[in-house]
Structure 1
Amino acid sequence: MSTKSRVLFVCVTNAARSQMAEALLRHTAPDQYDAFSAGTKPGAVDPYAQSALDQLGVSTEGLRSKSVDEFAGQTFDFVITLCDKAALECHALPGAGEFITWNFQDPADSPQPDAYRHTLHEIHERIKMFVLVKRKR
């Protein structure tokens, strides 16, 4: 059995924010966490999100859009939602140890130039803080 903490990142379509978070946590703390992502209404992985990860040198290998239903019956130490809508839809997700709500604007809906890069940076900063604060003692 793994001594790593299991983390599930959730947003609505599992296209950009949760994919970024999954890849970033795998990149930042691979020895401490097993990272997964899912959506309440999954679509497809956003190519701009993959491009932003590639530009940062973060592996996108194995990333695919998944439904939260795919993880039914599994337990997670942390379930982290990345948007308010997912937080509302997943507040009672079975198997969740600690439930954490983060809210990041969907870069696909942002008028900001370099929205994907900006969102990736914001999520990366939050991931680094999460790893620092939640480090197993």
Structure 2
Amino acid sequence: MAVALEEPAKIPKSILFICGMNAIRSPMAEALARSMLPPGTYIASAGVRPGERDPFVDVVMEEIDLSLGKRLPQTLDELEDDFFDLIITLAPEAHHAALELTRSNAVEVVYWPTLDPTVVAGTREQILSAYREVRNHLAVLIEQRLLRKNGVKAETA
């Protein structure tokens, strides 16, 4: 008896990352995903509420040679496109907002619990360490959940 092999799922063609204010977690995830996923994958990020750019994000992204460029935080209402194959939420309020937003759409919404590094107090180095932890956590999730399970080999630096 022949056994049918499952084909690996394809990487979604469009991915939206959502967090609270689109200032830390979701823009980090967007930049990381752009650097890791195949060209042609549409990747965006947004927040539930308006936010302001966080300079610690720029510092920890520059450490791995990535940049947000001139990108500013945006809310879900400000998105140019509103159809995505996959929405990844990084905070509880973002997950609730995404479920509400997609109530009548057939879109996959996935929750990746991710620490808010702004809750960490201490020295500049301790704060940066928390931001690095978030950056590295997101990179691992993107690699494990979007690349490996989809049969795409991640490049190593």
In the superposition, the TM-score normalised over structure 1's length comes to: 0.86
Which residue, 118, 126, 129 being the options, matches 2:141? 126
Q: Gaps spanning 5+ residues in structure 2: where?
A: 1-10, 153-157
CA distance in 2, matches of 1:129, 1:18: 17
Aligned positions of 1:40-119 closer than 5 A: 40-71=48-79, 74-94=82-102, 97-111=107-121, 113=126, 114-119=129-134
- Identify the structure with the greater strand proportion: 1
8 Å contact kept, 1:4–1:31: no
Alignment partner, residue 38 of structure 1:
46
- Flag the 1:73–1:118 CA change in 2: closer, same or farther, 3 A: closer
Alpha-carbon offset, residue 43 of structure 1: 0.7
- Flag the 1:96–1:20 CA change in 2: closer, same or farther, 3 A: farther
Q: Which has the larger radius of gyration?
A: 2
Residue by residue, what CA displacement relative to the aligned partner does 1:77-114 show, whole Å, maximum 9, x if unpaired? 11110011211222122356211111111011124821
Q: Alignment identity in percent?
A: 31
Alpha-carbon offset, residue 47 of structure 1: 0.9
Q: Gaps spanning 5+ residues in structure 1: where?
A: none
In the superposition, the TM-score normalised over structure 2's length comes to: 0.76
8 Å contact kept, 1:79–1:96: no
Cα RMSD over matched residues? 2.3
